[in-house]
Structure 1
Amino acid sequence: MPETLLPEFGPWVICAVTVFFGTLVQRLSGAGYGMFAAPVMALVAPEWVPGTVLLVGFVIGSGAMLNTRGSVQWKDLPPGFAGRILGAGIAAYIATAVVGTDALAIIVGFIVLFAVVLTLLGLSFPITTGSLFVAGAVGGIMGTLTGIGAPPMAILYSKVETRRSAATQNAFYGFGTLVAIIALSIAGVLTLAQVAFAATLAPLVPIALWVSKPLAVRFERGAIRPWALGLATCSALALLWRSF
């Protein structure tokens, strides 16, 4: 557990900027905050991961979903939610062994790279009850351990109209982070310091969501995502370099 509730000012500023831009990416594309924020926070404030990433992620996912709730495909949510609960339970058990150790940084780095590769492959699968459950479960494991749970669901929605895709993914992300927070709390690895740090970063979320509104039309075709993927990759490689 961190000796203080908050990181020093420099790391805090870096994390704040990361949250702001991660929120923009998440709101505009339905995915990206975790891939961007998790490796950066693991680099500059490792003792506050993954709890802070998830707590802020819940605020982002919920806020983004509320902004676009009219476009959510509600019928898709139950099987994805069920899978997410299963995945979070499995990950919480793993988390008791790796949170607070150097292994977590390595896991974060490799999951970010894995998520980037999945995104770049452009895979496509039909959206069915089974595929939603599997994507939810895999995302639940990834997301609970690192805060990066969006890519499996993003693959399913890669061919869906952009607004519906982003809105539904944000609904999955908001629910998934809530389940992950509960699972980590039950496992005893969510700390007061992580909650306090998240509380100082959360006010940036509504500001970023407000800024994103005029950008939504311009970037709804996903033009912002390559930049986010590039930054996420660089952060993950730097994290792995330091860890090894």
Structure 2
Amino acid sequence: MSALMLDPASGSSVGLLVAGLIVLVGAVVQGSIGYGLNLLAGPLLALIDPALVPVPVLMIACVQAALAVVREHKHTEWRGVGWAMVGRLPGNVLGVLAVASLPLAQFNIVIGVSVLVCVGLSMLSLKLSPTRPGLVVAGAASGAFGTASSIGGPPIALLYQHSTGPVVRATLGAYFLLASISSVVTLLIAGQVRVEHLSAAAVLLPFMLAGFAASGPLRKFLRGPRLRYAVLGVAAASAMFLILRNLF
């Protein structure tokens, strides 16, 4: 595709509105439970214009993550963020290699199945927790998944599903900020970032800001078991959507 549908020069007001609403809903979800913007917006925006994923989505994710850190910075677990980033950097390289050499549909199916397995184990008996080895492995998986398809949240979010709401949102926000920046830089080095991506991200940014603002009141409602089930539910739903979209 020579130009992004959401480039203002394209004149696609319908595409802009639909994509903006998708981003707004994703921003509300992420602002409430700590992640979800890329999970919801990534697959749906790809249906509108494949060029919107992953670069423009990662760019607006950087801004939302920064806002989350500012809003609840006192609850950030920087140790966990650091170990997750140790795994994220080599994971980014794996993601770029996957984009360049593997059939994207098959790789996305693998991502979806992996997330569903993690959700299933968590619901049954396995109590995932943010240990040092777990964070490194989850960071690597998040890097590969996020760089290839913009869906890198579940591996880290599942480790923090038993933490309090502020800790989940602030820690994931700090991680997503560094992770999204690292993915964009990796894609830039690989020659996958174009000027049109900046324009598309700028068009979608106001919708993300509106969604983040709307998420504030929901934070008090999503706590304890509600927060955990929301984390698992968003992960499972996004994984199923990713699988079905690449099967049919």
Q: Specify the TM-score bucket, using the shorter chain as the normaliser.
A: 0.7 to 0.9
**Which stretch of the first structure deviates more once superposed, 180-189 or 232-241?**
232-241
Candidates 136, 159, 165, aligned match of 1:162? 165
The 2-side partners of 1:39 and 1:109 are apart by 12
The 2-side partners of 1:237 and 1:149 are apart by 15
Q: Cα distance 1:92–1:199, how it changes in 2: closer, same or farther (>3 A)? A: same
Candidates 5, 13, 17, aligned match of 1:13? 17
Q: Cα distance 1:89–1:26, how it changes in 2: closer, same or farther (>3 A)? A: same
2:40 corresponds to which residue? 36
**Which stretch of the first structure deviates more once superposed, 68-77 or 110-119?**
110-119
AA at the equivalent of 2:119: T
Q: Give the TM-score, by structure 1 length.
A: 0.85
Checking the alignment, whether the CA contact within 8 Å between 1:42 and 1:105 is kept in structure 2 is no
**Which stretch of the first structure deviates more once superposed, 229-238 or 13-22?**
229-238
Describe how 1:39-50 pairs up with structure 2 within 5 A. 39-50=43-54
Candidates 169, 175, 199, aligned match of 1:172? 175
The 2-side partners of 1:237 and 1:134 are apart by 22
Q: Does 1:144 align with 2:147?
A: yes
Checking the alignment, whether the CA contact within 8 Å between 2:115 and 2:236 is kept in structure 1 is no
Q: Does 1:211 align with 2:214?
A: yes
SS in 2 for 1:202: helix
Offset of residue 227 of structure 1 = 6.6
1:186 corresponds to which residue? 189
**Which stretch of the first structure deviates more once superposed, 45-54 or 218-227?**
218-227
Deviations 1:170-212 (A, max 9, x none): 2111211110000000001122222211111012222211111
1:4 corresponds to which residue? 3
Offset of residue 238 of structure 1 = 5.0
Offset of residue 237 of structure 1 = 5.0
1:118 corresponds to which residue? 118
Checking the alignment, whether the CA contact within 8 Å between 1:6 and 1:193 is kept in structure 2 is no
Checking the alignment, whether the CA contact within 8 Å between 2:62 and 2:181 is kept in structure 1 is yes
Identity percentage of aligned residues = 25
AA at the equivalent of 1:196: S
